[in-house]
Structure 1
C-alpha cells in the first residue's frame, strides 16, 4: 500500500521538478533558504555629504594627480576639497552676478567673472597666477556701474 503512494509522489515530482529546476536555478542555488530582498537605493557621496560638487570625480582626480606623492587618499579628503571648491565657486558666481546686475546685463560672461575675481582680495590672491589678458584689454576696477563698457 505504501508503494503506490510513493510512486505517485515520484511521478508528480518528476513532472514538476523539471520546471521547478529551471525556475530554482535562475533564482538561487538549491538548498539556500530564500530571504526577503530589500532593494537599496544608491546614494552618492555628494548627496550624503550635502554638497553639489561631485565627490567621486574629485576623488578620482586626486588619485590620478601626479602632484601628490600619497598613494592612499580618503573619501573625507575628497569631500572637504569638493566642499571648498563649491564654496569658492558660489562666492565667485555671486560676485559676478552682482557685477552683471550693475552693468544691466542678464548673461554672465568671462569678463564679469574676471572683474569679480579681481575686485575681491581673497579670490584675487587665489587666482593670482591666472592670465587675465585673454578676457579684456583694460580693467577699470574703480569704475562706477554706469561706466561699464561691454
Structure 2
C-alpha cells in the first residue's frame, strides 16, 4: 500500500457509488472511511449522507470521479459490442462445424429473432444517419 492514501474512496455499485472520505488522523494511523454521499451515475444525483453538507472540494472530487467513471463505462460498453461481434463469428463457426441437431433446435429461433431485431435497428439507424447527411449537404 502506498504511503499516501487518496482523500476519497468510491465504492462502486449499480448505477453509481457510495462516497467515503478517507482519513488517517489517529496516532496508530488507522484508516477511517466516513461515508459522505451516495451518487447516481445515470442521472447525476449527488445525495449527501445523513445530515452532512458537502464541501466544494467534495463536490469537485465527486464530479471528477463521475466524469471518469462515465468514460470507463462507455469504453466497456463499446468493448462489449466488439466482443459480441467476436461471439457471433465463433457462433457461426460452431453452428457450421460442431453443433448437434438438438443444440441447433434449442438456439435457432432465439438467435434468429435476436439477430433480426439487431439487424432492423442497425438498418434503421444507418438510414437515419444517411438521411441526416443528405439533408445536411
TM range (shorter): under 0.3
TM-score between the two structures when normalised by the length of structure 2: 0.27
Greater strand share, structure number: 2
Higher relative contact order, structure no. (Cα contacts within 8 Å, ≥ 6 residues apart): 1
Which protein has the larger Cα radius of gyration, Structure 1 or Structure 2? 1
